Amino acid sequence: MIPFLTLQPSRGQHAADAIALYTSLFEDGRELSREPWPEGSGAPEGAVQLAEIEVGAGQRLRLSDSPIEHAWDMSPGVSLWVDCADQAEQERVFAALLEGGTAMMPLDDYGFGPFGWVQDRFGVSWQLGVAADDQ
């Protein structure tokens, strides 16, 4: 199963920007493929029809810029969970995702170890924990 993120350029969400941010968050983050929308598709120039990236520990995401404006947007009810290697990585990733985003639950210990929940500037929700053996 691969999570699929539909971004809407008409709302200022661009897959290329998300790809750059997400692959920069983790040492092993990388872009696997990217296919642009063809001319005449109705998508803005440079829009991504389909891309696949790895964002850490081999976890893949697929992304696309939708040339169709949808009434819906990302929901914080569905989020990406990340077990960070340590608190330093957790703090760094949280800070990067928070730029232009919203802290749903600021970094703290809520009784189950270091945790933070952030919705990034694209509307994607991330829950960040620390791997159990590193708490």
Which pTM value belongs to this model? 0.92
| Ramachandran category for residue 71: left, alpha or beta (phi over 0 → left; psi -120 to 50 → alpha) | alpha
User: Which amino acid type is present at position 78?
Assistant: V
User: Which amino acid type is present at position 57?
Assistant: A
Q: What is the pLDDT of residues 69-115, one digit of tens each?
A: 999 999 988 999 999 999 999 999 999 999 999 999 999 999 999 99
Rounded mean pLDDT of the chain? 94
Strands 79-84, 30-36: pairing is unpaired
State which H helix or E strand residue 88 sits in: helix 87-98
